[in-house]
A and B are shown apart, each in its own frame.
Chain A
């Protein structure tokens, strides 16, 4: 009899929390306008622009269904400024209340080796690399760009902050969320105030800094000190230029092997094509996500190329240069 009661209870419990896909939406902003590379923004009254913004999130905890907590072990997100949607997995959750996470990678994963993961895994080998190489260890936050060092309102001094080391791990406390959902998917929307990563750092003198320096520690800790991550209400926030924010940004950290960062507002799948100036096709890749970082697994001879991405109704393209 007791067993039957327990069994019944278990069945009821399982039914009451059906499995849902959880998607984290990181809505990146720069001073309240939609994130763009090479777009001027202000931090501490100084004008800067980003050419690269990437960071890791790990240690997720979901608070749901009236006080339950689900810890997402082995879930890692490699976020980029131009990418909004990150699939976290399928969990027994029906109503979500808040989320907490760490910026960076936990100590165990951070002592591992990129080559233990496939390239598609957030911790796998990336281009441009998200690991330092000499010591093992991931860059927790990468901000590359230019800052205005001479008050002419023109950001033209390069900075390259890439934070390393277990001590950079920065916990972000529970953020209340207003989940948007469908039958099988829950979207967790967060606002990312990307300009705030740079708060309190003298970028004019920061230079190229791939290390565990104080500047890099400030940058990581800004995640919680400056509230880089905030609650976000999709319906009440109409300032996001929902149309016409389609773009391609070429990351040429590796001059011989550029990475194509792209973003379409519309969620339709896209097709990508790379041609040279004579129209010769070098790469065709169909059915890609509407936003992403595409690293061509191909060696191009030096020269100019054009990447064209279309989703059936909209087409964007960009020229890029390869230097072998």
Chain B
């Protein structure tokens, strides 16, 4: 039994892959996690991951070479920037808070309002956004062509010179490796370590799953059911969320249910970074949010004692995966 547990743990922590002749990589899915669905057009290979990682950290993707993807999605902060609102080139302010990329591969829709269909398609967004890289993907490819290393990696991974497809497919492949599955919650729940959580955290977990039903939205292994909902954060939203694309009033203020993994590090919270602390977030839910015609009916006021609040926060904090942050 002990042996089995160790083997299992080893499998999970090392998150290893087999390299086959066709160079396609098969992840061993961490326990408790479903199979990762990768688009047929862009199978993961170790070469793509390598190239994608290099691009993700390369400031050359921004017009003035001042910032990279990692400037906003910093691995130290679970791929966020801990700013209220993100900052692009020339200190331009982005209208939203930088979301974590924790387990992003398991998302079915992308951006805070879920209007983007794939990781591949999302790559072009920050490159072209005026307030982020303010650049053009064809010119990024030209910059890559001037760098021998990129040309070599690009040919290895795709058999092609650097081009827009190489850029988007490589970065998406790298993003799919950002798997976090070793929080104390995972150790307790999936790895069979019953001592991983203390009494307060277990009480918090029960509140989360039972009494407060947070898990009606923040559900499953990744704490998100992927829905796009209005949580009544405001009576009137400055950022209309999904409505910016659908122009449908019933989508006003609707945002994607975010994962809560690594939540203790990814402050400040919500699409606009307007809530500084987890305590503040809980207060929002205790109050049942503001009045809003689109507010989801699962958001209802409730009572919570001081101790219960502490317990709930303690539980949220054990979703932090220090091995993920350290990479």
List chain A positions with a Cβ less than 8 A from chain B.
111, 113-116, 118-119, 124-125, 127, 129, 131, 133-136, 211-213, 254, 256-257, 295, 297-299, 324
Contacts and interface: CB of A to CB of B under 8 A. Distances in A.
Please provide the 4 A-B residue pairs with the shortest distance between their CB atoms, ordered closest to farther.
A115-B164, A135-B115, A115-B168, A113-B121
Contact of A115 (B111, B120, B142, B246): B120
Interface of B: 41, 63-64, 111, 115-118, 120-121, 123-125, 128-129, 136-139, 142, 163-165, 167-169, 244-247
Contact of B247 (A115, A129, A212, A299): A212
Contacts of B142: 297-299
Nearest to B145: A297
Contact of A134 (B115, B118, B137, B163): B115
Main secondary structure of the interface of B (DSSP, over half): helix
B117 A114 contact: no
Contact of A118 (B139, B163, B244, B245): B163
Nearest to A212: B247
A131 B137 CA distance: 12
Given A135-B245, A136-B121, A211-B247, A125 B116 contact: no
Contacts of B121: 113, 115, 136
Main secondary structure of the interface of A (DSSP, over half): loop
A114 B164 contact: yes
B124 A133 contact: yes
A125 B137 contact: yes
Contact of B124 (A125, A127, A295): A125
Nearest to A131: B124
Contact of B164 (A124, A256, A295, A298): A124
Contacts of A134: 111, 115-116, 125, 244-245
Contacts of A257: 136, 139
30 contacts: A111-B117, A113-B118, A113-B121, A114-B124, A115-B120, A115-B164, A115-B165, A115-B168, A116-B165, A118-B163, A119-B138, A119-B163, A119-B164, A125-B164, A127-B138, A131-B124, A133-B129, A134-B125, A134-B244, A135-B115, A135-B116, A135-B117, A212-B245, A212-B247, A213-B247, A297-B138, A297-B139, A298-B142, A299-B139, A299-B142
B129 A116 contact: no
A256 B63 contact: yes
Contacts of A212: 245-247
A305 B142 CA distance: 21
Given A129-B128, A135-B116, A136-B117, 12 more contacts: A111-B117, A114-B124, A114-B164, A115-B120, A116-B41, A134-B115, A135-B245, A211-B245, A256-B63, A295-B138, A297-B139, A297-B142
